[in-house]
Homo-oligomer: A and B are copies of this chain.
Amino acid sequence: MPGIAAPKNQERNRGRNRDNAMEPPPADDYAKERYGLLPMIQSQEKPDRVLVRIKDLTEEKADEVVWVRGRIHTSRAKGKQCFLVLRQQQFNVQALVAVGSHASKQMVKFAANINKESIVDIEGVVRKVPQKIGGCTQQDVELHVERIYVISLEGRATVNQDTRLDNRVIDLRTSTSQAVFHLQSGICQLFRETLIGKGFVEIQTPKIISAASEGGANVFTVSYFKSSAYLAQSPQLYKQMCICADFDKVFCIGPVFRAEDSNTHRHLTEFVGLDIEMAFNYHYHEVVEEIADTMVQIFKGLQERFQTEIQTVNKQFPCEPFKFLEPTLRLEYQEALAMLREAGVEMGEEEDLSTPSEKLLGRLVKEKYDTDFYILDKYPLAVRPFYTMPDPTNPKISNSYDMFMRGEEILSGAQRVHDPQLLTERALHHGIDLEKIKSYIDSFRFGAPPHAGGGIGLERVTMLYLGLHNVRQTSMFPRDPKRLTP
């Protein structure tokens, strides 16, 4: 019996096996060394054995003997045979244990009794199958099992299915979840790749802050030694300070905290912000174009590199492919109002868009321009924060913008006021206590270049790109007013 595959530590196994009906192989079984529960891997040995990935089990490997580690996805015993489906992330393969020279009756029974979700090591021969196996990603081959050892046992098999689905660890093992989060990892990477290519610098901004920069609403309080502090609602002040410190073009990816009691499909109390801030030369559209192009590069990269993931999610949640234009469509707020009014919506010039109006506008834009992604520019000044730069000619509008995917907002941004005197005027106009934002205003007293930026919600981008309907599907461990676990 070569290598570590021998169930040598029966003492320990008995302990580990306490809650389970699996018996050690009987002494008179001719296949007794070919199956069993392995001792816990405690880094005893470093065998040379190569574990083949399930996604690499193709016709090219036909008739090779391979070792594979995977989870028992399903198992079905049928007379002298047991069919297993072995899973690794999004990929799975059929494995057959059949009574014969390698497997005894007892070994087939052992295989059939392994709890689903347990992890097993299998040695087997890759065999071409005459007919494609419909239920598996590896459709052209199956594994003929010669050895099977349990590496880690699923020990709560009596728990019902509902409880399992409530438990995120198990839910994250499904093909759909695996695909969603592999794609989300890709969004972050594409975002950074694109921005680093454009000369941006990544920054790290503090999350514990001493003052609530936007006046104190919806902010979480932290006890900080003998005093108290807040959790940052956005990295905006710090991004702007980096611009004032001449970093020129910066981005960051990090948690953003909102103590908002919103229980909707698209609000979380903690989400991941993809943030951009950039000094510009003459016009904030220089920044808008950089951000929009970054989004376009992300969409293209996802199409090119994540087709498998997109198709996997589409199987469970069918959805039209995401459409976008290049360059990105930029509509002015007043044009959007005209489109909405034509569709029967009554709205004032300086009124903000409601969520239903945003969704309707998304449909109207899709019909007219055939795009799921667009920029809405030049919002009324009245509906934007005090630090938003007013338009140079029309005091009722502002140099600000949102970006939308499938009719839902994913980014909010603006040219920021970089002049301390105008910033003071605007804060007073909004009735904000100057004392509370003193350090913010002071940041601009050392010479500040004109700049603009925006913040993107990662979970929303993932959700809307894939056409999902709840941001909790795209947050690994979502936080909302009612959920803090796992």
Contact = CB atoms under 8 A, between A and B. Distances in A.
Nearest to A4: B282
A241 B204 contact: no
Given A18-B421, A155-B446, 13 more contacts: A42-B389, A71-B246, A88-B248, A169-B443, A169-B446, A171-B245, A172-B245, A207-B207, A208-B269, A238-B477, A241-B486, A254-B254, A254-B255
Interface stretch (A122-130, A296-304, A447-455): A447-455
Contact of A421 (B15, B154, B244, B485): B15
A154 B485 contact: no
Nearest to A155: B445
A449 B242 contact: no
Question: Which of A51, A71, A223, A447 has the most chain B CB atoms closer than 10 A to its own CB?
Answer: A447
A415 B40 CA distance: 12
Contacts of A224: 220, 269, 484
A340 interface: no
Interface in A421-477: 421-422, 439, 443, 445-450, 458, 475-477
A333 B171 CA distance: 40
Nearest to A458: B204
A428 to B, nearest CB: 15
Given A189-B196, A447-B153, A484 B204 contact: no
A201 interface: yes
A221 interface: yes
A205 B445 contact: no
A245 B449 contact: no
A167 B439 CA distance: 11
A185 interface: yes
A168 B257 CA distance: 24
A173 B246 contact: yes
A36 interface: no
Given A43-B283, A202-B189, A283-B43, A447 B119 contact: yes
Interface in A14-54: 15-16, 18, 40-47, 49, 51
A152 B449 contact: yes
Interface residues of A, number: 117
B43 A476 contact: no
A133 interface: no
A343 B227 CA distance: 45
Given A151-B449, A151-B450, A246-B71, A43 B399 contact: yes
B247 A172 contact: yes
A172 B282 contact: no
Given A189-B192, A281-B51, A270 B206 contact: yes
A46 B245 CA distance: 25
Contacts of A204: 184, 255, 272, 458, 475-476
A178 interface: yes
Contacts of A41: 280, 282, 450
Contacts of A188: 202
Interface string A52-88: 0000000000000000010100000000000000011
